[in-house]
A and B are shown apart, each in its own frame.
Chain A
């Protein structure tokens, strides 16, 4: 038996999410009393792989064949399943990201393993495995039992803390068996949406709603995010993204991105239920709105009732003083 964790990389690098995931997997391996095995797919240096050893990764399978540079859900599925079989994995863990959403359900079929996507905490129990996931777009939670011998879970970002566990790492290069049929979907071009920090990676989000009036005026959120620093980026509501005041990759909510930052500034946002569904895992929510009865104040931890264009410059000033 073993616990297998797939650590995705972004341009050959890991990010905080990778270390959260390994910390999480290491805790679960302890619950089962088994080894933790890690798999990495893509061109990641041994030096970078070794950083996973700070959080408990000991044995790492590394697939560096250039065929795997772009995501093929079929080839990745085969690679992960082959390592899972080789290591007799009873549990396979992924982070809940775009890549793993393409892969984990396929691995589930191949391994005949029940899958619980979007978990937010350690399992409640291991025999049988019962684990909590988010449901109804963040409006509720579901405790799900997995009934198969091999099990798969995916962990939501920012839902587990880093736990240091220095381990000696051994890296084994692995060459999975794949066929040409696994590469029918061909990558033509990769485009970076922007150089900005992704909303799901930011620890602090400054988010604007229709209360910020126009594409020009909403630019004040950029100024505030800049004042806060490198761990902060901007976000927006659906109407704002639909009006093209802000790019659609900033849209946070039920049909946009679901976020879980440490701190969420909701500026000129009334708090439609669909927006709240996307932000209610934030540790702290701060609302600034002219309407004291706006539903956002029910979700917020701190609030100011007032004109956003008067309040925001004062906030920016106070933040600058703090830094």
Chain B
């Protein structure tokens, strides 16, 4: 089994979000970057599958040199090797095209992404990649296993689940449930990660389809109206008469 896991490099989930240069640049000062959580779960599941059934896992990121520690973390978790496409990821199409170029040559059986990165929340790269490669894609996958040249998957839908089976190759985007918890790299894994291959490739020329012009932050909320715990009735009255929400 030959698996590719697409990794995005995002601010930690607890990070405060702010922007500089008049809203055009994300402020990276004092921010820790991580593997986007859904991708970390997808990678964890891929590791469980290759541990029992054999195979290799390549992790890929489209990013500048600053993303290498994130790829090293994926190697420390147990991925076989890593590829970094040396470019600023300007939009989902740009990223999908870069990964498609590599995937066309490598013939992966399974390509995993997360259901979305937690920075842009686009959820586009996996499905774009599948369309570029002309293979099936299954989104919001909360379970995946392999048997007899086929994969069995469960995907989340509005108000339910669907169980599917799919022949290789395909793209699946992982979400909560695909693995119970992200694997924490052991010291041995961290030591080994330093020796593992991390290949840097130059990007192919691609024009963006979209461009972020400006980032803004939500308006600060007004003060919270405090109600005494002995007067819960008053709260319900306010919600009914003032907010008209009840």
Binding site for B on A (CB under 8 A): 10, 70-74, 77, 97-99, 101-106, 108-110, 112-118, 130, 133-137, 139-148, 184-194, 198, 200, 204, 228, 248-249, 251, 254-256, 262-263, 272-274, 280, 283-284, 286-287, 297-307, 310-311, 314-315, 317-319, 321-322
Contacts and interface: CB of A to CB of B under 8 A. Distances in A.
Contacts of A117: 121-124
B213 to A, nearest CB: 5
14 contacts: A72-B136, A73-B136, A101-B123, A101-B139, A101-B140, A108-B131, A109-B93, A109-B131, A139-B218, A144-B211, A189-B162, A255-B38, A314-B233, A318-B236
Given A108-B124, A307-B229, A184 B167 contact: yes
Given A141-B215, A303-B225, A311-B232, A186 B131 contact: no
B228 A273 contact: no
A231 to B, nearest CB: 10
| A contact face: mostly helix, strand, loop, or mixed | mixed
Given A109-B131, A184-B170, A185-B170, A142 B246 contact: no
Contacts of A303: 224-227
Contacts of A106: 127-128, 130-131, 137
A117 B121 CA distance: 8
Contact of A142 (B128, B215, B240): B215
Contact of A198 (B37, B155, B158): B158
Given A74-B136, A105-B127, A137-B121, A184 B166 contact: yes
Interface residues of B, number: 82
B13 A315 contact: no
Contacts of B159: 10, 192-194, 198
A304 B176 contact: no
A108 B163 contact: no
A319 B158 contact: no
Given A189-B162, A191-B162, A263-B243, A130 B229 contact: no
Nearest to A255: B37
Interface in B125-142: 125-128, 130-132, 135-140
B124 A115 contact: yes
Contacts of B48: none
B163 to A, nearest CB: 4
A190 B160 CA distance: 7
B123 to A, nearest CB: 5
Q: 7 shortest A-B CB distances, which residue pairs?
A: A306-B229, A114-B209, A314-B232, A105-B127, A318-B236, A109-B131, A105-B124
B208 interface: yes
A113 B236 contact: no
A244 to B, nearest CB: 11
A254 B121 CA distance: 10
Contact of A143 (B124, B130, B139, B212): B212
B119 interface: yes
Given A139-B17, A191-B161, A228-B246, A304 B229 contact: yes
B118 interface: yes
B216 A134 contact: no
Nearest to B159: A198
Given A115-B92, A286-B239, A302-B227, A105 B128 contact: yes
Given A102-B137, A134-B121, A303-B226, A263 B246 contact: yes
Nearest to A320: B236
Interface in B161-180: 161-167, 170, 176-177
B124 A140 contact: no
B226 A274 contact: no
A110 B132 CA distance: 9
Contacts of B135: 184
Contact of A284 (B163, B167, B243): B243
Contacts of A200: 158
Of A113, A114, A256, most buried by chain B (CB within 10 Å of CB) is A114
Interface string B35-60: 00110000000000000000000000
Contacts of A98: 139-140, 155-158
A169 B92 CA distance: 37
B214 interface: yes
Nearest to B154: A191
B217 interface: yes
